[in-house]
Each structure stands twice: as C-alpha cells, then as structure tokens.
Amino acid sequence: MKDTTKILRAKGLKVTPQRIAIYTMLSHTKEHPNAEMIYQALEPTNPTLSLATVYKTLCLFKSSGLVQELSVGEPSARYDAITTRHSHVVCTCCGKVKDLSPDPFGELRQQATPFTDFTLESEQLIFYGKCPECEKTKP
Ligand code: ZN
Ligand code: MN
C-alpha cells in the first residue's frame, strides 16, 4: 500500500483509494485482467468503485507508463503492471493470458530493424494455444 502511494506520487498522480486499489491489484496478479475483471475483483471491497472509474484509471495509468495494455484479440484490452517488454501466451479456449517466462525473444525489435524504414518503438509478441487445464479437459 505504502509502495503504491509512492509509485503513484512518483508519476505525479493524485493518490486516491481507487487508484491505490487498482494499481495494487494489478501489481499482485499474473492474470493480465481486463477492466471488467478488475472491477469484479475490487467492487466487493470498494463499493463506491464504478466500471467507468476503472476504465479512466487504466487509461491514466497507461499514459503515465504505470501499466502496459495488451491486445490479445479480445474486445477488451488486458493490463499488465510489468511494463518492460515481454512475450505472452494466450489460451484460445479459456482466454488465460500468461507471461512467456523466461522470454527468449528480447532482441526481436533489433532483429526487425534492418527490414523496415520505420523507427521501431515497441512490439507485442503473443503466442496462442491451449493451456494445460484446457488441454486436459478437451473432449
Ligand atoms: Zn485454457
Ligand atoms: Mn505480462
């Protein structure tokens, strides 16, 4: 909690109970939740929280560089408090999103650079497949 307050302040953000709750939750999960999932998880203990606030807060966190947004092919974006580049695996059956860890593709952007006249700034590498749980319950 104290750490979250410090982190928000370091980004010049006003500290509110909602912002603390959302950032604390994101920095303690490996689930890469979307806004709805964050709202569902926090609403019971934060009855004044609204889904709109979650969306607005995530947008603010993203522009402050506190979180990264992942598009995994779903209508809503997933969020990750780990902002350094890393690859992800997505289950095409249950939608689970995990880190590819350790990530052997750290040099991908440098490798792509000679093949384009664009100045490359970022990339997202996502692998799709079946998680062990879904693989097990497959008919
Ligand atoms: Zn799955
Ligand atoms: Mn991640």
Instruction: State the residue for tokens 């497949």.
Output: 129
Ligand nearest the Cα atom of residue 67 = 2
Ligand nearest the Cα atom of residue 93 = 1
Report how far ligand 2's centroid is from the alpha carbon of 110 (Å).
Answer: 21
Report how far ligand 2's centroid is from the alpha carbon of 67 (Å).
Answer: 10
Total-model pTM: 0.90
Per-residue model confidence as pLDDT tens digits over 96-135:
999 998 999 988 999 999 999 999 998 999 999 999 999 9
Report how far ligand 1's centroid is from the alpha carbon of 91 (Å).
Answer: 5
Cβ proximity of 9 and 15 under 8 Å: yes
Task: List the Cα angle 71/130/23 in 5-degree steps.
Answer: 40
Cβ proximity of 127 and 90 under 8 Å: yes
DSSP the chain: -HHHHHHHHHTTPPP-HHHHHHHHHHHT-SS--BHHHHHHHHTTT-TT--HHHHHHHHHHHHHTTSSEEE--SSSS-EEES--S---EEEETTT--EEE-SS-TTTTHHHHHGGG-SS-------EEEE--HHHHHH--
Per-residue model confidence as pLDDT tens digits over 18-66:
999 999 999 999 999 999 999 999 999 999 999 999 999 999 999 999 9
